[in-house]
């Protein structure tokens, strides 16, 4: 299940209420970078612990990173790679799953898997389901 792809320290950081806004900012920036055609980009200056989280999160997107500049204006620079794309599961979505909780199994009859309160870029869904070579339908409840 998805939370196992995230390192425990990254999940612990992201699950803390005081870091939710920061994690949303990071994912929005990484999503925008993936969606763009830019070969590189940079994020705002951040603290060393924040940069460490960005490096780890960017790895899930297949984005190469490097910290640049001098404190207190040190920032993360992003580099597109051949693997750059959206992760199968976003960190903020994985954080919504309680630690130790197992997801509900898919309904065998129609293989429906209800996802509640999940935001996923359409391109990410298309890429994840492309191996099916079929059209897909999203149902909003």
Mean predicted confidence (pLDDT) in 87-106: 65
CB neighbour list of residue 14: distance below 8 Å, 6 or more residues apart: 6, 20, 23, 53, 91, 92, 94, 95
C-alpha of 37 from chain center: 18
* Partner residues linked to 64 by β-bridges: 79
pLDDT band for position 107 (cuts 50, 70, 90): very low
pLDDT of residue 115: 60
Residues 63 and 33: their CA atoms lie apart, in Å, by 9
pLDDT of residue 6: 78
- On the question of pLDDT at 133 being above 70, the answer is no
pLDDT of residue 38: 94
pLDDT of residue 35: 94
Percent of the chain predicted with pLDDT > 90: 45
pLDDT band for position 106 (cuts 50, 70, 90): very low
* Partner residues linked to 40 by β-bridges: 79
Q: Backbone phi, then psi, for 73, in 5-degree steps?
A: -105, 20
pLDDT band for position 8 (cuts 50, 70, 90): confident
Q: What is the mean pLDDT of the chain?
A: 79
Residues 42 and 56: their CA atoms lie apart, in Å, by 15
């Amino acid at each position: 299940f998805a939370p196992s792809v995230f390192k425990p320290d990254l999940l612990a950081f992201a699950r803390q209420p005081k870091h939710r806004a920061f994690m949303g900012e990071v994912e929005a920036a990484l999503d925008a970078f993936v969606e763009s055609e830019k070969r590189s980009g940079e994020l705002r200056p951040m603290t060393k612990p924040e940069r460490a989280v960005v490096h780890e999160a960017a790895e899930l997107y297949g984005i190469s990173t490097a910290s640049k500049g001098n404190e207190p204006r040190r920032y993360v620079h992003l580099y597109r790679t051949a693997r750059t794309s959206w992760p199968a599961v976003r960190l903020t979505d994985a954080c919504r799953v309680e630690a130790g909780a197992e997801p509900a199994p898919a309904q065998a009859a129609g293989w429906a898997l209800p996802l509640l309160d999940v935001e996923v870029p359409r391109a990410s869904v298309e890429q994840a389901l492309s191996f099916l070579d079929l059209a897909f339908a999203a149902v909003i409840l």
